[in-house]
C-alpha cells in the first residue's frame, strides 16, 4: 500500500489506505501506545483479504511517520480527543462504513469513537482496550519504564518512530502514572455504543484484567461478544495471529 501524509485539522498524519473492495466496509487500524502502522506488520493486509474489506491504517500524531507531538503533556481526556480526530479523518477520507480494529489505547479510542460518532461506525473490534485504570495496568507501565532505562527498548522503538521516541514514551508513561489520571474512566460512554462489538483479550494480559472485558460487553447497547484467549498476553494479534484473524473475520462476516 502507498503511504502518504494527510492534514487533519492541522495534524499531519501518515496514512496507508487500500480501497480495492468496492462497496465493502473499511477496517480502521488503531495502534497501541507505542505502536505505528509499520508495527501492525502483515496483519491488516491479511484481515483485509480474508474479510474482503478495505483498510485504513494511520499513525497518530507523534508516532511512526506522522509529525511530532508538540509536547509530551497530555490532558486526562487525550483518548477522547483522539476519537474526535479520528472522526475528522473519516470525514476527510469520506468513510462512513468503518469497522474499527483497535489495540490497547487504540481499542479504547475505538470504543469512544463508536460511542460519540455512531453514524460512521458499523462495528468495533477492541483488542486489550481499557475503560478504567487498574493496578495491573500501572505495574505494566512501570515495568516498561524500567525496560526503557535498562534495555535496548529505545533503540528498538527508534526503528519505527525515529527521534520521536523519547517524547512518545514520556507521553504514555507520565500520563498513565499521573495522580489525576487514576480516576480516568469511560464507562459512562459505553451505553451509547450501538454497533456490534467483539472484545478480544489475552487471559495473561499484563496490562489489564478481564474486568475490562466484562464491564464493557455488559454495558454497551448493541450486541457484544468476548473472545478470551488462554495463555496469551497483551498483543494477541502478534502472539496468536491466526486465531485472531479467524475470529475477527468470522465476526465481520456475520454483519457484512
Domain residue ranges of the chain, discontinuous segments joined by +? 3-255
- Sheet containing strand 197-202, edge to edge, reads 3-8, 11-18, 54-58, 26-30, 98-103, 121-127, 197-202, 224-229
Cross-strand bridge partners of residue 224:
197
| pTM for this entry | 0.98
pLDDT confidence of 196, banded at 50, 70, 90? very high
pLDDT confidence of 2, banded at 50, 70, 90? confident
Nearest to 40 by CA among 18, 24, 73: 18
CA 202/CA 232 separation, integer angstroms? 4
Which CATH superfamily includes the segment(s) 3-255? Alpha/Beta hydrolase fold, catalytic domain (3.40.50.1820)
CA 256/CA 21 separation, integer angstroms? 13
Q: What's residue 81's pLDDT?
A: 98
123: helix, strand or coil: strand
Q: Which cell numbers hold the place of 242?
A: 491466526
What percentage of the chain exceeds 90 in pLDDT? 99
Nearest to 175 by CA among 138, 221, 222, 124: 138
Strands 54-58 and 11-18: antiparallel
Amino acid at each position: 500500500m502507498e503511504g502518504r501524509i494527510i492534514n487533519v485539522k492541522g495534524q499531519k498524519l501518515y496514512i496507508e489506505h487500500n480501497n480495492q473492495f468496492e462497496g465493502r466496509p473499511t477496517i480502521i487500524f488503531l495502534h497501541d501506545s507505542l505502536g505505528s502502522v509499520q508495527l501492525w506488520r502483515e496483519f491488516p493486509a491479511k484481515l483485509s483479504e480474508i474479510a474482503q474489506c478495505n483498510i485504513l491504517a494511520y499513525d497518530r500524531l507523534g508516532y511512526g511517520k506522522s509529525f511530532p507531538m508538540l509536547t509530551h503533556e497530555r490532558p486526562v481526556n487525550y483518548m477522547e480527543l483522539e476519537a474526535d480526530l479520528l472522526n475528522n479523518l473519516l470525514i476527510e477520507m469520506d468513510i462512513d462504513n468503518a469497522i474499527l480494529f483497535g489495540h490497547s489505547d487504540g481499542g479504547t479510542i475505538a470504543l469512544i469513537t463508536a460511542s460519540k460518532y455512531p453514524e460512521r461506525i458499523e462495528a468495533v473490534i477492541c483488542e486489550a482496550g481499557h475503560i478504567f485504570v487498574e493496578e495491573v495496568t500501572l505495574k505494566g507501565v512501570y515495568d516498561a519504564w524500567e525496560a526503557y532505562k535498562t534495555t535496548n527498548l529505545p533503540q528498538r522503538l527508534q526503528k519505527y518512530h525515529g527521534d520521536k521516541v523519547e517524547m512518545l514514551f514520556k507521553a504514555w508513561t507520565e500520563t498513565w502514572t499521573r495522580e489525576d489520571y487514576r480516576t480516568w474512566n469511560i464507562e459512562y460512554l459505553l451505553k451509547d455504543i450501538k454497533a456490534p462489538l467483539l472484545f478480544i483479550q489475552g487471559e495473561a494480559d499484563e496490562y489489564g484484567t478481564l474486568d475490562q472485558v466484562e464491564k464493557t460487553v455488559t454495558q454497551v447497547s448493541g450486541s457484544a461478544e468476548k473472545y478470551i484467549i488462554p495463555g496469551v498476553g497483551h498483543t494477541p494479534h502478534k502472539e496468536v495471529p491466526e486465531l485472531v484473524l479467524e475470529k475477527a473475520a468470522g465476526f465481520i462476516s456475520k454483519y457484512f
